[in-house]
Structure 1
Amino acid sequence: MSRTDSNPRSMAVTALTRVKKGAYSNLQLNQMIDQSPISQRDAGLLTTIVYGVIQHRMTIDYQLAPFIKHPQKVEDWVMILLETAVYQMQYLERVPKRAIFDESIQIAKDRGHEGIRRFVTGVLHQMDRQGIYDPADIKDPLQRQSLMYSIPEWLVKELTTQLGAQKATHVFESINHPANQSVRVATDQISLTEAKQALSDEGYQVADSQVAGDGLVLHGKPANQAALFKQGKMTIQDESAMLPAESMRIQPAMMILDACAAPGGKTVQMAAQLDANKRGQVVALDIHEHKVKLIKQNAKRMHVNDRVVAQALDARNVNQVFDNDLFDEILVDAPCSGIGLVRRKPEIRYEKELKDVLALAKIQLDILNAVAQKVKINGIITYSTCTILNQENRDVVAAFLANHPEFESQRVTTTRDLKADRQTDYLEIYPDDYDSDGFFVSQFKRVR
């Protein structure tokens, strides 16, 4: 194995190059760590650099720009190598500058030719001599916030308008912090107390989730190394993502539709509350066949496959397959921009534009309209998204209720009674509220 194959800084360049070509940062990192013999410490450095560069990419590129005369001529991996060096200099206080320079120059030499080594050396030493720009000094407030927090200007503008300047700034500051490692315990198989003890015995630091009733926050090793995970008694899930299913009033014999189910985290959470002997069942849909396989795998791993029927179907076409008044409850965890997941999937912020958000809002409303008559009278539709933008949340809810007088808004309640003093029926979780993903949950009861 060559020096670069197991060097966390070189591996970070590889991972970031693949992410730039379309790979998901979290999946790419998991794959590289699983397939490499690097130590836990080096895996931590690799993860920190990859997420850190993506989180701060706009800031870093702004600081690099004065030192690179012809950026279009610089190969992707070389630019990424420089980004990793700037990130370490700016954000990793414990790493000596000399180590950053020596490692970066060595990677340039190992991966490229003498010209690339000289170029990287020159840029780094020029930055060291001249110093770099601080985006906090930018006069224009929109551009300043955009480059300080590395968030596209359209998103800074939208969130500032919707949340107010103070709340928006809190959100911007919070999303560049590392995400918590959270898990949901399958309490149909093991109690929370037993799970906490088992995890502690394995060396994890364990804390109760302050968001979700069956959630735990773990520190230490990756959660997928735990015996409970391998036994299907625990699954990796963000605390906020547990709330839609938690808020539903599921009874053992219910027939439930999970309209947008993949990869099946919420499907198995709901199925765990059903009884196969009483014909309790979740019908889980996804538009893609390969994602239906993920739902089935998830259901099997978590020992609920006797209560899950997964099939490929666009939820907008449910009328072609299902009778009206068929389901006791319906979950529409709608496809969305994912802006609430920026802490966990930092590249999302650069991939979306406002036009994408508006297009998604139309799809969300189309799905709700399609499933509306499939729920029984007195049944409830739960609508959720992992975004924090009103266009995909409040506006979709308002439009649905305006179009469907047969539905009434219901107040969303959770095990921990989150935001008990709010004035709205729907529940909005922002990334800075509990250091979890941003999420939106609302419910509508069919009254006639």
Structure 2
Amino acid sequence: MTKFIPQNARELAFTSLERVLKTGAYSNLQVDETLRHHNLSSADRRLVTTIVYGTLQHQLTLKYWLDSLTRQKKLDSWVEALLMTALYQYHYLDRFPNWAITNETIEIAKHRGNPGIRKFVTGVLHAALRKGFPDFSKVKKTTERLSLESSVPQWLVEKFVQQYGMEKAKDILHAINMPAHVSIRINTNKSDLATVKEQLLNEGVETTESKVAANALVVTSGTVVNSSLLRNGTITIQDESAMLAVESMDLQPQFKVLDACAAPGGKTVQIAERLSADRGGQVVALDIHKHKVRLIKKNALRMGVNNVVSPVALDARKVAEKFSDDEFDRILVDAPCSGIGLLRRKPEIRYTKTPHDSQNLHKIQLAILDAVAPKVKKGGIITFSTCTILQEENEQTVREFLQKHPDFKLERTKTARALKDDRATATLTILPSDYGSDGFFISSLKRNL
């Protein structure tokens, strides 16, 4: 048996997926590495990306189908990964003929395995095409059925139902399996929305104005990663929901701001664009890792705001070592979290997180808030945000912070487009099903005068 060396798009997708499943590698980094080392056409690059992300995203569903086809036979991990890529393509990618998917999958089995494995894979594929895919009607428990249909672990489905109700939970599960769109924020120090929209159109990129964030566009056609506007810092790629934390901070040009969990610096530069070096404005950007501090510096330089950005390698829980009390007008704590609001973009998150993770993160969040609380001026505001929609990392953290710090009160979070302005809560939770953006949470904690 000769060594299997992947060459075409399906072979590369399979080997990338196998590495992600076997080693726990981040899917985006693995796909980027694969594409960087192989000279593929645009269509093949899209196919590799689609197969890897799609198979990961629908992993529980695909395993349920595969178990029914193999009678729950224990498979080698690479064989399971290979068969899941085929089932994914059969069911979710209708633009490819089944015979092409079948032939290439059998070829991979032939070169990677032995005649017995090739024969087994061939039999499973033919059975899938002959029998079709079983539905989920036999699964009686509602949350288990929703878990299999949406490929989201049952514990997380139950959390959504418990915290948001059955109908909203179903909407969330549907939304997180829809394709993620690319959104961009305009650097208003360099241009404006109308000008950028026209310039991107000239580069073959069509956009529409964001309904979520101000000074933002959503890409509807074309690719923005090679745009000159991105290279020169006129625009930056950022999810619409993620823009809202800084948008809600009511920044003034002369403010001194602390970005307590800053890397890679997307929100740091957004803050910096609102500040004036001439008037003493400054944003101190912290990250615990030195290599990530370098990313903040690089981002600030690209966006042309490095004159007001001061990156510092420091654990936010140790701010007392470097900063005085009452030093900052505003503090942003975009806290470490489970990232459950990002399931559309990072499909493997759904399989690696546990309920225990949320409780540990909740403790870290409180420790950071406790540490930075004395550093904001009286009358100043700490903006606490996360990219999760689990309440133990959001509302519970805010509630416990306020109980411990009676010198703070919860202010109503406001955005430029008055999002969900009729809500009953002062905090703002953006669900993936609300606007088709990432899930996000924002709260505004004001220190009493």
Q: 1:59 aligns with which of 58, 61, 65?
A: 61
Measure the CA separation in 2 of the matches of 1:285 and 1:201: 38
Amino acid at match of 2:118: R
Q: How far 1:447 moved relative to its partner?
A: 1.1
Measure the CA separation in 1 of the matches of 2:7 and 2:226: 21
1:23 aligns with 2:25: yes
Q: 2:46 aligns with which of 4, 22, 44?
A: 44
Amino acid at match of 2:162: T
User: Hey, what does 2:273 align to over in structure 1?
Assistant: 272
Measure the CA separation in 2 of the matches of 1:32 and 1:300: 29
SS, match of residue 95 in structure 2: coil
Measure the CA separation in 2 of the matches of 1:73 and 1:85: 15
Q: How far 1:366 moved relative to its partner?
A: 1.1
Measure the CA separation in 1 of the matches of 2:185 and 2:163: 32
CA gap 1:121/1:331 in 2 versus in 1, 3 angstroms: same
User: Hey, what does 1:245 align to over in structure 2?
Assistant: 246
User: Hey, what does 2:389 align to over in structure 1?
Assistant: 388
Q: How far 1:5 moved relative to its partner?
A: 4.5
CA gap 1:208/1:34 in 2 versus in 1, 3 angstroms: farther
Superposed CA offset, 1:83-140 (max 9, x none): 1100111112222211110121122234344333223212212333344322243112
After TM superposition, the structure 1 stretch with the greater mean CA deviation from structure 2, 210-219 or 170-179, is 210-219
User: Hey, what does 1:228 align to over in structure 2?
Assistant: 229
Residues 49-448 of structure 1 mapped to structure 2, 5 A cutoff: 49-68=51-70, 72-74=74-76, 76-448=77-449
| Cα pair 1:339 1:348 within 8 Å, conserved | yes
Measure the CA separation in 2 of the matches of 1:5 and 1:222: 27
After TM superposition, the structure 1 stretch with the greater mean CA deviation from structure 2, 29-38 or 271-280, is 29-38
Q: How far 1:182 moved relative to its partner?
A: 0.9
Measure the CA separation in 1 of the matches of 2:402 and 2:331: 16
CA gap 1:183/1:264 in 2 versus in 1, 3 angstroms: same
After TM superposition, the structure 1 stretch with the greater mean CA deviation from structure 2, 169-178 or 16-25, is 16-25
Q: How far 1:3 moved relative to its partner?
A: 11
After TM superposition, the structure 1 stretch with the greater mean CA deviation from structure 2, 11-20 or 332-341, is 11-20
SS, match of residue 98 in structure 1: helix
Measure the CA separation in 2 of the matches of 1:307 and 1:14: 45
Alignment TM-score, normalising by the size of structure 2: 0.95
Measure the CA separation in 2 of the matches of 1:90 and 1:28: 24
Amino acid at match of 1:66: S
| Cα pair 1:136 1:148 within 8 Å, conserved | no
Amino acid at match of 1:313: L
Q: How far 1:45 moved relative to its partner?
A: 2.0
Q: How far 1:329 moved relative to its partner?
A: 0.3
Amino acid at match of 1:141: T
CA gap 1:88/1:73 in 2 versus in 1, 3 angstroms: closer
CA gap 1:339/1:128 in 2 versus in 1, 3 angstroms: same
Superposed CA offset, 1:379-435 (max 9, x none): 110000000011011111111111111111111111111111112111110001000
Amino acid at match of 1:18: R
| Cα pair 1:247 1:412 within 8 Å, conserved | yes
Superposed CA offset, 1:235-265 (max 9, x none): 1111101110111111112111000111110
Measure the CA separation in 2 of the matches of 1:154 and 1:181: 29
SS, match of residue 225 in structure 1: coil
Amino acid at match of 2:187: A
Measure the CA separation in 2 of the matches of 1:195 and 1:27: 29
Structure 1 residue runs without a partner (length 5+): none
| Cα pair 2:205 2:223 within 8 Å, conserved | no
Aligned length: 446
SS, match of residue 225 in structure 2: helix
Measure the CA separation in 2 of the matches of 1:99 and 1:445: 60
Q: How far 1:281 moved relative to its partner?
A: 1.1
After TM superposition, the structure 1 stretch with the greater mean CA deviation from structure 2, 344-353 or 14-23, is 14-23
Amino acid at match of 2:182: Q
Measure the CA separation in 1 of the matches of 2:287 and 2:133: 48
After TM superposition, the structure 1 stretch with the greater mean CA deviation from structure 2, 338-347 or 279-288, is 279-288
Q: How far 1:18 moved relative to its partner?
A: 2.5
Q: How far 1:298 moved relative to its partner?
A: 1.2
| Cα pair 2:4 2:112 within 8 Å, conserved | no
Measure the CA separation in 1 of the matches of 2:230 and 2:238: 12
CA gap 1:136/1:291 in 2 versus in 1, 3 angstroms: farther
Superposed CA offset, 1:190-248 (max 9, x none): 11111101100011111111111021111333321111011121111111011101111
| Cα pair 2:411 2:426 within 8 Å, conserved | yes
Amino acid at match of 2:50: T
SS, match of residue 376 in structure 1: strand
Q: How far 1:69 moved relative to its partner?
A: 6.2
User: Hey, what does 1:33 align to over in structure 2?
Assistant: 35
SS, match of residue 194 in structure 1: helix
| Cα pair 2:246 2:267 within 8 Å, conserved | yes
Measure the CA separation in 2 of the matches of 1:397 and 1:70: 45
Measure the CA separation in 1 of the matches of 2:146 and 2:245: 32
SS, match of residue 278 in structure 2: helix
Structure 2 residue runs without a partner (length 5+): none
Q: How far 1:35 moved relative to its partner?
A: 4.1
Measure the CA separation in 1 of the matches of 2:396 and 2:416: 26
Amino acid at match of 2:442: V
Q: How far 1:72 moved relative to its partner?
A: 4.8
Q: How far 1:71 moved relative to its partner?
A: 5.5
Alignment RMSD, CA only?
1.8
Measure the CA separation in 2 of the matches of 1:348 and 1:134: 25
